[in-house]
């Protein structure tokens, strides 16, 4: 790689723009990049793509080899484990050479297959395809589904007659969730607000008619809505919530033209959600503690004054969810950063937990559509155990493995080690780290090290299996996840201690994790590559500004790096609702705190590590201009000759390419950059 090539990067034009915020003069010469319709914007991004391609050209054979490795581990023609709903077994499958899944059903395992929805057919002629809503009517005759063909999360709702295979006349733009009433003809769906993309209106629609009746409109800009159905099929639920506050309204599913009834009015900083059994609602709420408790309330009078506690709040256990059945309840909990399933026998009151075998793993509820089920479907995986589907006998307390995702090519899990470590943050907090490596690793401080993190919205950064990751592990790379504050690994207090005016903890936690792994000789600083995406891209931008000396290279995907400017603009999607995550910079205290870490605002003249930034032109969550502006400004300030690359997918959204083969090529590209920086050439 010649220095001349690295220095031949595009130079974005500057257009003067100054604003004064709380007395600070803020210059943003790249504000013009927000004008998506301006052809100069696309030209600028394409110039960056061409530069990235030129710089990465010597490493594209490596990327192609990586792609071949990863593809070679995948069983391309495959089928998911069927799950029952009514008279049908539903499943999805893939075919070799096809980018997208095919959704199918059968009456019995031996019966002929009916294709419900083939996304490959829908994707013909489209550069992007994403499935949103997918709801079958109770009688199994009609399918309501929605698709996005741009990546901008702009879903169009359709209804298909599954008996004839023909589409009905229903077509609604910019929709969100959808749910059927029990009459099999009335569909409830939500729509988004122009500009902000906030789901704010609920409509009722008889699919054999033309009317679309507005049922509810949410006026508070901080709140989104969604509609669903209880597993009992007894009620439709209209959920209304912000990041910190929620309420629910219910309607008997057999009374579609009735009025949704409020369960309990919203109270600031209190959240609740619910399910139904018999004449009782079961409610998960944080009214008496951040980690939630479980209560019941009579259907006839479900207000707070009638709540009866079933499971008390516990400061060390997060109550994440509830799956309710005719004779059992499964409470999804998180303790010590790990998922747990508490099974309650509703006939006797006895309870027990499902046992899991590894020190670091993830377990997720599966497809459990049947109300009278006595077996609980769940998915399990870890760094070394491939994604597995189990049925758990709720009475016999036995788990049966139904399928472990095949890993072709002779994968031997005994060759890998998974651990849970603890780093110490500057304030003394203990920060969990999940780590995996080949068992023949020599901990002499010379290995290549890949550390990722997220740390936002109370979302746990879970430990999952990836056959792609074997291309790193088998090259001797140590792979680690930092479970930093701001995430949900240790419950809502873990989230609270890494948001708003405590957000700096997220960044110092990550730095502490990097320093700990180096001190424990898991890897070498000159071979340490870090990665984060979206809010994790904010993490990357912040820690790169704070400790550019600690990282050899940074991979920042769809990064939220222009925090202050985006949060000052209430016309953007997400902004108002996310005042409860980041703060409102129109308030002096919030602005001053945000000013400490906003990556774009804190770029300065100094040496930075090698950086790969990826984004998508149609991203509606972190607009393309944030990474584009960040790249342009950093180019004018960095004093080193390390590569700074911006790669934009011009036909995708927040998650990148939608097709599985296209996505795999994106992973291979990222890995090739990473290996280059680690000094691994094959």
What are the beta bridge partners of residue 206?
186
Which of 92, 619, 620, 658 is flagged as catalytic? 619
CA 613/CA 45 separation, integer angstroms: 12
Query: Which residue has tokens 């997060």?
Result: 318
Contact 207, 188 (CB under 8 A): no
Whole-number Å distance between alpha carbons of 524 and 566: 36
Nearest CA-CA partner of 62 in 677, 669, 531: 669
Among 246, 534, 566, 616, the one annotated catalytic: 534
- From residue 421, how far is each of 424, 434, 436, 477 by CA, in Å? 10, 6, 11, 17
The single residue of 471, 616, 654, 658 carrying the catalytic annotation is 654
Q: Which SS3 state, helix, strand or coil, does residue 307 take?
A: coil
**Could you tell me how far CA 275 lies from the centroid of its own chain?**
24
Contact indicator for 455, 487 with CB cutoff of 8 Å = yes
Supply φ then ψ for residue 588, to 5 degrees.
-55, -45
Contact 90, 162 (CB under 8 A): no
531 close to 554: Cβ distance less than 8 angstroms: yes
Backbone angles phi, psi at 77, to 5 degrees: -95, 110
Residue whose pair of structure tokens reads 């600070």 in the numeric block: 24
Q: Is 452 a catalytic residue?
A: no
534 classed as catalytic:
yes
Longest alpha-carbon distance in the chain = 75
CA 261, distance to chain mean position in Å, is 31
CA–CA separation, 363 vs 372, rounded Å?
A: 22
Compute how many other C-beta atoms are within 10 angstroms of the C-beta atom of residue 257.
12
Q: Is the CB of residue 127 less than 8 Å from the CB of residue 656?
A: no
Residue 393 near residue 375, CB atoms below 8 Å: yes
Say whether 382 is catalytic: no
φ and ψ at 351, to 5 degrees? -145, 160
Catalytic residues: 534, 619, 654
């Amino acid at each position: 790689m010649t220095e001349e090539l690295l220095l031949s990067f595009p130079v974005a034009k500057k257009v003067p723009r100054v604003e004064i915020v709380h007395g600070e003069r803020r210059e943003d010469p790249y504000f013009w990049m927000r004008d998506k319709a301006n052809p100069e914007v696309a030209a600028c991004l394409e110039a960056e793509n061409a530069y990235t391609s030129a710089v990465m050209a010597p490493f594209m054979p490596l990327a192609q080899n990586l792609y071949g490795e990863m593809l070679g581990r995948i069983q391309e023609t495959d089928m998911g484990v069927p799950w029952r709903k009514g008279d049908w077994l539903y499943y999805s499958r893939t075919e070799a050479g096809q980018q997208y899944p095919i959704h199918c059903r059968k009456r019995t395992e031996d019966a002929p297959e009916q294709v419900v929805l083939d996304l490959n057919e829908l994707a013909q002629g489209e550069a992007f395809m994403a499935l949103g809503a997918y709801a079958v009517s109770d009688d199994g005759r009609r399918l309501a589904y929605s698709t996005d063909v741009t990546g901008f999360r702009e879903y169009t709702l359709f209804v298909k007659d599954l008996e004839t295979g023909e589409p009905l006349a229903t077509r609604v733009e910019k929709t969100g969730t959808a749910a059927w009433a029990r009459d099999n003809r009335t569909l409830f769906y939500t729509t988004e607000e122009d500009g902000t993309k906030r789901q704010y209106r609920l409509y009722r629609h008889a699919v054999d008619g033309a009317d679309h009746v507005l049922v509810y409109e949410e006026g508070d800009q901080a709140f989104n809505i969604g509609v669903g159905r209880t597993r009992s099929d007894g009620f439709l639920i209209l959920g209304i919530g912000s990041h910190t506050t929620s309420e629910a309204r219910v309607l008997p599913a057999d009374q579609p033209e009735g009025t949704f009834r409020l369960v309990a009015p919203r109270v600031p900083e209190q959240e609740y959600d619910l399910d139904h059994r018999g004449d009782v609602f079961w409610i998960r709420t944080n009214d008496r503690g951040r980690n939630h408790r479980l209560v019941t309330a009579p259907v006839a009078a479900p207000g707070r004054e009638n709540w009866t506690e079933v499971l008390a709040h516990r400061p060390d256990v997060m109550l994440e969810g509830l799956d309710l059945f005719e004779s059992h309840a499964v409470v999804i909990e998180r303790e010590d950063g790990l998922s747990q399933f508490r099974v309650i026998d509703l006939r006797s009151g006895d309870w027990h937990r499902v046992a899991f075998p590894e020190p670091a793993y993830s377990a997720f509820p599966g497809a459990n559509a049947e109300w009278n089920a006595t077996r609980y479907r769940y998915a399990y995986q870890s760094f070394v155990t491939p994604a597995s589907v189990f049925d758990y006998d709720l009475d016999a307390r036995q788990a049966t493995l139904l399928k472990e995702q095949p890993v072709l090519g002779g994968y031997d899990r005994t060759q890998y080690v998974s651990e849970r470590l603890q780093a110490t943050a500057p304030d003394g907090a203990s920060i969990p780290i999940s780590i995996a490596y080949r068992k023949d690793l020599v901990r002499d401080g010379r290995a290549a090290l890949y550390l990722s993190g997220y740390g936002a919205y109370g979302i746990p950064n879970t430990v999952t299996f990836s056959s792609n990751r074997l291309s790193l592990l088998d090259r001797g790379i140590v792979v680690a996840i930092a479970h930093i504050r701001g995430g949900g690994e240790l419950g809502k207090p873990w989230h609270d201690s890494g948001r708003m005016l405590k957000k700096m903890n997220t960044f110092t936690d990550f730095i502490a994790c990097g320093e700990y792994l180096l001190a424990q000789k898991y890897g070498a600083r000159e071979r340490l590559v870090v990665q984060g995406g979206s809010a994790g891209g904010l993490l990357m931008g912040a820690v790169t500004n704070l400790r550019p000396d600690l990282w050899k290279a940074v991979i920042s995907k769809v990064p939220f790096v222009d925090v202050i400017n985006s949060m000052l603009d209430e016309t953007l999607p997400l902004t108002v609702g996310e005042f409860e995550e980041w703060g409102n910079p129109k308030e002096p205290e919030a602005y001053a705190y945000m000013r400490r870490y906003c990556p774009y605002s804190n770029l300065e003249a100094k040496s930075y590590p090698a950086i790969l930034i990826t984004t998508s032109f149609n991203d509606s969550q972190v607009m393309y201009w944030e990474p584009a502006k960040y790249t342009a400004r950093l180019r004018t300030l960095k004093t080193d000759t390390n590569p700074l690359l911006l790669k934009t997918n011009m036909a995708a959204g927040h998650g990148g390419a939608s097709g599985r083969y296209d996505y795999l090529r994106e992973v291979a590209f990222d890995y090739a950059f990473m290996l280059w920086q680690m000094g691994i050439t094959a």
